Structure 1
Amino acid sequence: IDQAYEIIKGLISMSFPQLDIQSYEVTNSYCPGKYDLSVNGQKIAGIAQRRTTNALVLMLYLSVNGDQDGRSETVAEFYNEADAYSQSRWTFPKVDKTSMTTVQQLGFSDITRSDVEHKFLESINQQNIDVDVTSGSDLLISPEFTAERQKQLRKIQLRNAQLPIV
């Protein structure tokens, strides 16, 4: 899994060679994790993984542009309203909005999501990684995917039903 995280970190670093991207947990960001990507101590991305018997899926959240302070404040308010800090089963971070930033705030003033997608795909091509970007829509409507989505949704519903109402 760490090897897969390093591949994603490398691709993001290749996409933005001007940035000195580090990977470590930014503890007072929202959704902190071992493979947060940061520049100058501020989180710009988080990498998460999900595992099943036959697959490993990595997901990346990259803060490209927009109101990062507002996003941080929304998550902090959610934790407070949900009374997250009074329970002992999980640990929730005290979100400090200054611990996060966007690619735009790091000097890419006009960057768009499409620009980032293009940079990322260029990095993938430079590494000679084969990626199928065309058959995803077929997969999403396949009977196998639909059945698996329903199964996983039911699991989430069963887990949520066990949560205490505060």
Structure 2
Amino acid sequence: MDQSESLLRRPLWRFIDQSAYGPGFNPIHSFATDDALATAIGAGQSPSTVRAWVHHDTVVLGIQDTKLPYLKEGVRVLEDEGYRVIVRNSGGLAVLLDEGILNLSLVMPDTEKGIDIDRGYEAMYALVRHMFPEADIDAYEIVGSYCPGSYDLSIGGRKFAGISQRRLKKGVAVQIYLCVNGSGSERAAAIRAFYETAKRGEKTKWAYPDIQPEVMASLAELTGRPLSIQDVIIRFLTSLKEIGGPLESGSMTALEADIFDGYLQRVIERNDRALA
């Protein structure tokens, strides 16, 4: 087992499946959920956990996006296209979620020495490569994509996934969105319209991406085969078992639900402030 995969080795992985909750599943809940899990797992109260989640027609902004000069107008453009807009509690930039995008979170305790940030990214990258052995998957920044970063996952120079991390109270959540099916370029065009309206060519303190929709695609488009969310979850669970060890289905504990309520309140307040 290589160094990047060793992080995935756990005595037990608990699997929480929230991929079929439907359009009513509020994306704000997902960010509060991962914070609650990271807190409980970091405190040694819960086992390492993987969570699968899907949200319909939502654009998730990063804190940096809230500094755009014409944010309200940009948000209106997205809302007019039928998207719900929320602000997540971490860095990075805007991403789009819909029923063709699978989000996966790996939530682990931070070890005494601390999990090096790149090791978290490398572990998720190794897992996705294991899930799609038939594809030649690269990890480097795809210029012209939305929410660009050094661990953009791509095939043939076209991005289908982005990885982020959230750390708090000795817990680490490594999160990925996988564009499973549908049109990657159409999603990118929606985010481009947001930035064009919210920035209007003005000079800004922060750098925002100049989005080129053609550099983004879905796994179905890139592999040339029909893929469903369920297909990818099965690949994910099979790969995690092979690399990481025993896996069992579960749900949030009473303690986690209690912690969740506090984090949910914080995320709601942050959204109200940012989008007021």
Match of 1:143 in 2: 258
Report sequence identity in percent.
Answer: 31
Picking from 203, 214, 220, the partner of 1:104 is: 220
Alpha-carbon separation, structure 2, partners of 1:10 and 1:144 = 31
**Partner in structure 2 of residue 71 of structure 1:** 187
SS at match of 1:82: helix
For residue 151 of structure 2, the aligned residue among 26, 35, 48 is: 35
Deviations 1:115-155 (A, max 9, x none): 0000011100001345554214x569822211122123324
Q: Letter of the aligned partner of 1:144 in structure 2?
A: I
Of 56-65 and 99-108, deviating more is 99-108
User: Which structure carries more relative contact order (alpha carbon 8 Å, separation 6+)?
Assistant: 2
| Unaligned runs of at least 5 residues, structure 2 | 1-116
SS in 2 for 1:69: helix
Distance (whole Å) between structure 1 residues aligned to residue 172 and residue 268 of structure 2:
19
Specify the SS of the correspondent of 2:204: coil
Structure 1 length as normaliser, TM-score?
0.86
More helix by share: 1
With 66-75 and 148-157 compared, the bigger mean Cα shift is at 148-157
CA deviation after TM superposition for structure 1 residue 70, in Å: 1.2
Q: Distance in 2 between matches of 1:41 and 1:28?
A: 11
**Higher deviation after alignment, 142-151 or 56-65:** 142-151
Instruction: Please give the residue correspondences for 1:14-163 in structure 2 after superposition, counting only pairs within 5 Å.
Output: 14-83=130-199, 85-131=201-247, 133-136=249-252, 138=253, 142-158=257-273, 160=274
* Alpha-carbon distance, 1:157 to partner: 3.6
- Letter aligned with residue 17 of structure 1: P
Match of 1:6 among 105, 116, 122: 122
Q: Distance in 2 between matches of 1:79 and 1:134?
A: 39
Partners of 1:140 and 1:146 within 8 A in 2: no
Equivalent pairs counted in the alignment come to 160
Structure 1 gap ranges (5+): none
Q: TM-score, normalised by structure 2?
A: 0.53
For residues 26-46 of structure 1, give each alpha carbon's deviation from its aligned partner in whole angstroms, at most 9, with x where no partner exists.
121011012111111111100
Change (3 A) 1:92 1:129: farther
* C-alpha displacement of 1:51: 1.8
